[in-house]
Amino acid sequence: MSFFSYQTLKKILFNFDPETAHTIAGLGLRTVAHCPTIMRLIKERYFVDDTMLHQTFFGRTFKNPVGLGAGFDKNGQYITAMPTLGFGFTEVGTVTPKPQDGNPKPRLFRLTDDDSLQNAMGFNNKGSHYMIQRLKKLYFLDYPVGINIGKNKVTPENEALNDYETLFKAFKDYGDYIVINISSPNTPGLRDLQNENFIKAIFDMAKEITSQPVFLKIAPDMEAEDAITLCKVAVEAGAAGIIATNTTIDYSVTDSPLKQNFGGISGALLTEKSYQLFKAIGKELYGKTMLISVGGIDSAEEAYRRIKAGASLVQVYSMLVYRGPELIKEINEGLIKLLKQDGYTHISEAIGADWTNEK
């Protein structure tokens, strides 16, 4: 099965700068999507389909709880290929109303010794119209897709709601859920929108426009108390759930000579920081809203830790770059073993176990 060896491919891709490597990998995924026989063979190798992991949310079946995090598929070009890599769902974007180039290059860096990435991409994407055209082609695809949305860089903070209004209207009939991204560190002023007034306003507006489940994605760099308060405000205002967390701008997490003094860090360096904040949120909000955990998830054990802290679903991105689709298979197969070890017959029994066991 050397043909399918990601580690062989990784050696080739890591000879290129990260953004070029991403483009090459994306071209490969788009090619595979047009080759049904190859797709079937790869999916048979990586996709774990076990009823212990099946869950239904928003009227859609998630055959396993491991999804692709936003940022990898900014323009919805790889959706068809994602089940092939083992993912139970995918999240596209971040998409903005108008196309934009993002920040100047270089803007994506490998912190190889830390199994991490640092990015300052800046919501580079082809805009909402292009994304809609991609989604229209997926009408018969039975696979859960989330849409991550953000404001354009040139949009002033006091006009940000207008951008989100445009996006809610654009995607109200597409995808299975929408994610409000106000937690990326790479768009000036975006994280300033993580305040109660804006959160109330944006969810009030969303309810008037779309019946889609709308999630809030938060940054890992807030104090737990502030994050919990913000999440509670979002839920009370109508949020379907919380996604925690985005990348960190805490550069003290590594002494790597490869790190930059800008952009957000993801991957293994984010693992503990992301978990600790998610755990705090889970303790307060498990059972009151849906929770999705993302940030440095690199094993079945780590995914299970997030699930027991309240996560119904988890997402992976940076660790995919280092470990490939074998990681997704390992997580899902490992989750089944861990569930059985704890005497569970279905993943739903383990979700929030840290808190239900306290009662």
Q: Give residue-wise pLDDT tens across range 75-107.
A: 999 999 999 999 999 999 999 999 999 999 999
| pLDDT (tens digit per residue) in 3-14 | 457 888 899 999
**Residue 86 has which token pair?**
């083992």
d(CA 64, CA 40): 18
- Whole-number pLDDT of residue 193: 84
Q: Which residues are annotated as a binding site for FMN?
A: 70-74, 94, 148, 181, 217, 245, 267, 296, 317-318
| Of 116, 183, 184, 274, catalytic | 184
User: Can you give the pLDDT at residue 2?
Assistant: 43
Using 50, 70 and 90 to split pLDDT, how confident is the model at 359?
A: low
pTM, to two decimals: 0.95
Integer Cα distance of 298 and 87 in angstroms: 14
Residue 324 neighbours by CB distance under 10 Å? 21
Q: What residues form the annotated binding site?
A: 70-74, 94, 119-123, 148, 181, 186, 217, 245-247, 267, 296, 317-318
Sequence spans of domains, the chain = 2-356
Architecture of domain 2-356: Alpha-Beta Barrel (3.20)
Instruction: Tell me the C-alpha distance between 79 and 29, whole Å.
Output: 9
Does 293 qualify as catalytic in the annotation?
A: no
Distance (Å, rounded) from C-alpha 68 to C-alpha 79? 10
For residues 292 and 356, which has the higher predicted lDDT (pLDDT)? 292
Which residues contribute to the annotated binding site for substrate? Answer: 74, 119-123, 181, 186, 246-247
Q: Are 214 and 189 in contact (CB under 8 A)?
A: no
- What token pair was written down for 349? 């029994």
Residue 230 in contact with residue 194, Cβ under 8 Å?
yes
pLDDT at 188: 78
